[in-house]
Amino acid sequence: MLESIITYSFFMQVFRMFTPYYLGASAATFSERSGVVNIAIEGFMIISAFSYAAITIATQNPYLGLIGGLIIGILFSLFFSLFTIKLKINQIVIGVGFNLLMAGLAKFLMLLFFHSSSNTPGYPHIPRLPFLKSIPMIGDLTGDSIIIFALLLVFISQTVLFKTRFGLRLRSVGENPEAAETLGIKVRLYKSGGVIICGLLASLGGIWLASNQGSFSDGMVAGRGYIAIAAMIIGKWKPMNIFFACLMFAFFESLEIALQISGSGIPSQFVQMLPYLITILVLIGFVGKTKPPAADGIPY
Amino acid sequence: MELTVTKKVKANILSTSISLVATIIILFVFLYLVGKDPFEVMQKMLTEVFGTGYGIGQAIFKATPLIICGCGLAFCFQASLFNIGAEGQLNLGVFVMSIVAYMFDDYLGIFILPIAVAIGFAVSAFWGFIPAYIKIKRGVSEVITTIMMNFISLALINYFLIEFLAVKSTVRTEKILDVISIPKLSVFSDYFEGSSANLTFFFAIALAAATYFIFYKTSFGYKLRAVGLNPKASRYLGINTNKMTVIAFMIGAGITSLVGLNFVFGYKGYYEYGFSNNLGFTAIAVTLLAKNNPIGIIFTALLFGIMDYGGLSVNTLVPKEIMLVFQALVILSILSFDRIIKIYYLKEK
Amino acid sequence: MNTSPIIEFKNISKKFGDFFANEEITFSILPNTVHSLIGENGAGKTTLMKILFGIYKQDSGHIYINGNPVSFKNPLDAIMNNIGMVHQHFELIDDFTALENIVLGDEESDYGFLNLNKSRKVLIDIIAKYNLGINLDEKVCNISISEKQKIELLKLLYRKSEILIFDEPTAVLSPIEVEEFFKIIRKFKEEGKTILLITHKLNEIKELSDSVTVLRKGKVVYEVGSDALDISVLSREIVGELETVIDLNIRGDVKSEEPYIELNNIVYKHEKASALNGVNLSVYGGQIYSICGVEGNGQSEIVDLIAGITRKSSGSIQMKYDGISLVPDDRLEKGMVKEFNTGENVLLRNNKSKYISSSKIYDTAKAVVDKYDVRLPALNAPLESLSGGNQQKVIFGREIELDNNIMVFVHPTRGVDINATAYIHKIILEQRNKGKAVLLVTSDLDEALKLSDKIGIIYKGLIGKEFTRNEFDESTDKRNRVLQNIGKAMIGVNSD
């Protein structure tokens, strides 16, 4: 039975599913490394997925959809930093509020614009990269610029966080903002930086989902924003570890889909709950101790 | 000397009213921008909700579970436990509650009601026990665990429902005998004719009153709040904070299951997948808006109930989902005005 | 001498709420001197330095550096003006290496990419010059306190700061480390740097300072140069006038037969490190037993074990009575719920009924407020609106009224003004005279000497030497030698 599931297309699927997870998880990492907990990754993905859909439908230009989706993500992350950094409101509560707001807005605007409570009309996806899309076997993956970006992001985020001045300062405000401030570092600026990168990456994840699916539907993000946070925790806030955590979750999700199709009798619900269960087990400490940035979630 | 105290009360009233006004203004502008007439929408909503007994009844029906769930969450929030898992807790409790009621209704008749409710309560309480236990034993934040457990509980229910318990080609359980139900308000007054509002509303009010009494008039309530305000000091003051964490979480989660009274016994007679429709999250907003005060929760829940039914009633003019936006805006604005008033009016840092 | 001041404070005022932390402060500091700023806890020293360093903004007044008015919006502005500050609580990032901590904010980089090796080279020279040997690649969470201070010094040197502010630099150091530190300070001075030293240790002032400014209740009350420095005058200026004088020598012999608290060979381990290594301790009824030592040698672990907050790893604890009265060290963090009012805070600890009514809250508050002379804005005002001394009185009142036979007081007068201190000392002695067993944990040796029947010195998780009152009483001629021995025991040196 396993042979029928673990196929070539299954692996393709794993890397596709990996993409939104990794974008979301890196998003959360940049935010939390700067000391801001953002549990609204889900909402950021929803609103930018919808923005991509709406703009692409209106203009028939997926690039405008991409840019528009990213701008919306940045706008919302500016609001998010206003609430959490400027006003120092509890980050979790703001996160819950943002999730409700962004999911609600997407639902409302979908009905308003497209008169449907389930999905939007179809629209073009982001064009494949020339040359790279025609590489044999893996052209499906390499032709997709966002998948490529997500894979490169493993190295980019590792480098930015640990090898650059920006990264050192970003991490310092997440670990001990008082200490950073006494060294003349503008704490709020770097925290905002973390939050904006977070919004940008999470939005890109949402945009990929929307582009890949060809039509925005209610519930299409389906908890991926939360799984991304789980992947970040399991990955201990480190880009490389998070890569493997996301790969694992992508594997489970692909498996769930494959099981549903193959009618194997293994209840898909159990595979579905696995990422969440694993996260809890990791948190309890079965997979080693996890330590968030020291000042994570504490307003400064 | 009295000033310090009244100033705080004033600040609370001020922030609540400013944020409501601000939200309405933002919403009006937003509606205007998307090409709707906000005044027309407002007017229609008010006449639909307050013009008929049906409208008022429906608003009450929507508010009832929010009061109940809000009281449950208040138990957790007062102890500074960010229970984001009410959605999962209440679904699991209500699910088991309706299964038990359906399975034994033939034998026990109306007596099954308290039994089923007690079992449902216990299941939800157990679901609340898990994050509490993980928190006290391993120091893991309840926020993440409860979010994760929401997904787990919904997947579990989905599995048992689809595989074993659902009525064919639906996502609901078998119907409980009609005799085992909570009377609708329309039984007592024709005014509420057609509305689903039932006696659970009065139960919810009583629950809020009892919760208020516990929080502010008992030793237990003081200890609960002390743990929430300063857990470290609480330990030095001889309070068993771990025990309080577990108790608060279990009672809180248990109470959320009581929303089953309204939906299962007061309305449908069965559990339906998705019946809660994010109730557990909306209740977070209701509770925060009331600053965890159970009496306040009655009013904020009614406000949300009115908006919920109001949204439905204006659906012909503007998608009812506008109310989701409204609710989220209310949360964000109350949080920010609270803060702004603290900084500029109370001069806190 | 005709040099113009390097720093001038002119009429600096800063209020927190209704409380003046600094009020019309005016004085100046000459270049290339060691200038000490001295005063009690809460006198406003740290606030003033934080204003100078751009962390706080003054409400009114001006600061001049080299005669030019400056207005620092943040520490970066201060750093740009060659000012460096070592804070009382080290400002270090545990998860970073020493090197990362030092360069943070002033990193060598190529196109945004860190070039740590370039900084390392600079630092190796500095380390050699000042003899500040540390491992630059060790994470800060793994190193000792004195090494942490070296990192703080390196931060200043790396930035070539010329005006150096030290806030209570020696509080956490052993006497030998203090000597090392003094040497470095002198070297700084030789190089022409200006040093601002915040302290409340008189001997340090005598040894190092060129000039001294005394702050009391947010105001400058006394200024003196090293030539006219008189310690007794200085100490009177620091404290001000006493409102009440209490005779602490009225002590009856009420010692109990058996100990009320008995610790036998207590070992306590926390995250691999052992905090207590076989502590033996007996406290009798009618006795004040003080645990003295440099902070962080296991005092708080002993208290937490006795209070039942943590569990021992091995050994036995015997308490003759259930229930202890405890005044913890950090009243805001451990002693009270600051949002609750007086009555609520007392009832939280001392309530026999299941219910709490408004009238009960009122009555309880009234009783404590009257009996313990608490001054507060309103009977139902939250404790956070009371001054530190009055908060401490509420906590004392609450714990004393519990009337337990065992009482534990931890740093009971820290951050409390002089009059409240005298009052608290009186209460502690009264409890002893009533036959209670009193365990006092303090790092203030004078306090211990005044109050104790017995002093145990704690060092590295062990109570080594014990001294009884007849050895250190003011009437004995051995006193001076015993005091020296106590000092030595506190740093783990065997006495003669």
How confident is residue C448, by pLDDT bands cut at 50, 70 and 90? confident
Residue C35: strand pairing partners: C196, C211
Please provide the DSSP assignment of A34-70 as one string.
Answer: TT---TTHHHHHHHHHHHHHHHHHHHS-HHHHHHHHH
In a domain, B198, yes or no: yes
CB contact under 8 A, A39 and B163: no
Contact partners, residue B349, CB within 8 Å, separation at least 6: B343
Looking at the fold, whether B77 and B173 belong to one and the same domain comes out as yes
The model carries a pTM of: 0.85
In a domain, B53, yes or no: no
Angstrom distance (rounded) from CA B144 to CA A277:
11
Looking at the fold, whether B119 and B245 belong to one and the same domain comes out as yes
CB B41 within 8 A of CB A112: no
Higher pLDDT, B88 or A219: B88
Segment B260-288 shows an average pLDDT of 93
Residue carrying the six token digits 């926020």: B143
Q: Which class for C98: exposed (0-12), middle (13-18), buried (19 or more C-beta within 10 A)?
A: buried
- pLDDT at C245 > cutoff 60: no
Q: What pLDDT was estimated at residue A4?
A: 62
Convert the pLDDT of each residue in C79-111 to its tens digit. 999 999 998 788 999 999 999 999 999 999 999
Which of these, C98, C450, C176, lies nearest to C288 by C-alpha position?
A: C450
CB contact under 8 A, A104 and B151: no
Which of C334, C337, C380 faces B226 most closely, judged by CB atoms? C337
CB C31 within 8 A of CB C194: yes
Q: What pLDDT was estimated at residue B112?
A: 93
Angstrom distance (rounded) from CA A112 to CA A4:
44
Segment C332-348 shows an average pLDDT of 92
- Give the distance from residue C128's alpha carbon to the nearest chain A alpha carbon, in angstroms: 23
Convert the pLDDT of each residue in B17-32 to its tens digit. 888 899 889 989 988 9
CB contact under 8 A, C114 and A164: yes
Looking at the fold, whether B209 and B349 belong to one and the same domain comes out as no
Q: What's the whole-number average pLDDT of chain B?
A: 91
Looking at the fold, whether B159 and B193 belong to one and the same domain comes out as yes
Task: Specify the length of chain C in residues.
Answer: 496
Residues of A with CB under 8 A from a CB of C: 163-166, 168-169, 171-172, 175-176, 178-186, 293-294
Q: Phi and psi (nearest 5°) for C223?
A: -135, 140
Compute how many other C-beta atoms are within 10 angstroms of the C-beta atom of residue C354: 9
- pLDDT at C248 > cutoff 80: no
Query: Would the CA dihedral through A177, A181, A183, A184 be positive or negative?
Result: positive
- pLDDT at B3 > cutoff 50: no
Which of these, C315, C258, C281, C265, lies nearest to C454 by C-alpha position?
A: C281
Tokens of C393: 């009185």
Asked if C334 has any chain B CB less than 8 Å from its own CB, the reply is yes
B238 contacts on C by Cβ (under 8 Å): 349
Give Dmax over CA atoms of chain A in angstroms: 61
Domain range for B327: 1-36+318-349
C100 contacts on A by Cβ (under 8 Å): 168
Which of C50, C51, C82, C93 to mutate against chain A (most A CBs within 10 Å)?
C93
- pLDDT at B138 > cutoff 90: no
Sheet holding C194-199, edge to edge: C83-86, C163-167, C194-199, C34-38, C211-216, C219-225
A107 contacts on B by Cβ (under 8 Å): 319, 321, 324
Asked if B347 has any chain C CB less than 8 Å from its own CB, the reply is yes
Residues of chain A with pLDDT under 50: none
Segment C274-294 shows an average pLDDT of 90
Tokens of C328: 């913890």
Query: What is the share, in percent, of chain B residues with pLDDT greater than 90?
Result: 64
In a domain, B51, yes or no: no
Number of domains present in the structure of chain B = 2
Residue ranges of B 237-296 with Cβ closer than 8 A to chain C: 237-239
Looking at the fold, whether B101 and B245 belong to one and the same domain comes out as yes
C333 contacts on B by Cβ (under 8 Å): 230, 232-233
ipTM of the complex: 0.87
Convert the pLDDT of each residue in B297-308 to its tens digit. 999 999 999 989
Helical pair B279-289 and B86-108, crossing angle rounded to 10 deg: 120
In a domain, B47, yes or no: no
CATH number at residue B121: 1.10.3470
Residue carrying the six token digits 């009114």: C60
Proportion of chain B in helix, strand, coil states, percent, rounded to 5: 75, 0, 20
Angstrom distance (rounded) from CA B311 to CA C43:
60
SS3 C232: helix
In a domain, B306, yes or no: yes
Range name among B218-232, C118-132, C267-281 with the lowest pLDDT average: C267-281
C347 contacts on B by Cβ (under 8 Å): 219, 222
Looking at the fold, whether B28 and B162 belong to one and the same domain comes out as no
Which of A120, A280, A298 to mutate against chain B (most B CBs within 10 Å)?
A280
Residues of A with CB under 8 A from a CB of B: 39, 83, 87-90, 92-94, 96-101, 103-105, 107-109, 111-112, 223, 226, 229-230, 233, 267, 269-270, 272-273, 276-277, 279-280, 283-285
CB contact under 8 A, C348 and B226: yes
In a domain, B56, yes or no: no
CB contact under 8 A, C353 and B219: yes
Please provide the DSSP assignment of A139-187 as one string.
Answer: HHHHT-HHHHHHHHHHHHHHHHHHHBHHHHHHHHHHH-HHHHHHTT--H
Torsion, Cα of B138, B143, B146, B152 (10° steps): -100
Angstrom distance (rounded) from CA B293 to CA B287:
8
Looking at the fold, whether B144 and B8 belong to one and the same domain comes out as no
Which of C75, C93, C114 faces A172 most closely, judged by CB atoms? C93
Please provide the DSSP assignment of B246-265 as one string.
Answer: HHHHHHHHHHHTTHHIIIII
Q: What pLDDT was estimated at residue C18?
A: 67
In a domain, B54, yes or no: no
Range name among B151-160, B293-302, C436-445 with the lowest pLDDT average: C436-445
Q: What pLDDT was estimated at residue B2?
A: 40
Angstrom distance (rounded) from CA A40 to CA A89:
15
- pLDDT at B1 > cutoff 50: no
Angstrom distance (rounded) from CA C269 to CA C286:
32
Q: Phi and psi (nearest 5°) for A26?
A: -65, -40
Looking at the fold, whether B322 and B238 belong to one and the same domain comes out as no
Count how many pairs of residues, chain A against chain B, have C-beta atoms within 8 Å: 118
In a domain, B278, yes or no: yes
User: What domains does chain A contain, in order, with CATH numbers?
Assistant: 2-286 (1.10.3470)
B232 contacts on C by Cβ (under 8 Å): 333-334
- Cα of first residue to Cα of last residue in chain B, in angstroms, is 21
Q: What pLDDT was estimated at residue C476?
A: 72
Segment B51-68 shows an average pLDDT of 96
Looking at the fold, whether B279 and B332 belong to one and the same domain comes out as no
Convert the pLDDT of each residue in C405-416 to its tens digit. 999 999 888 767
- pLDDT at C443 > cutoff 80: no
Looking at the fold, whether B78 and B168 belong to one and the same domain comes out as yes
Looking at the fold, whether B85 and B105 belong to one and the same domain comes out as yes
CB contact under 8 A, B151 and A100: no
Looking at the fold, whether B341 and B270 belong to one and the same domain comes out as no
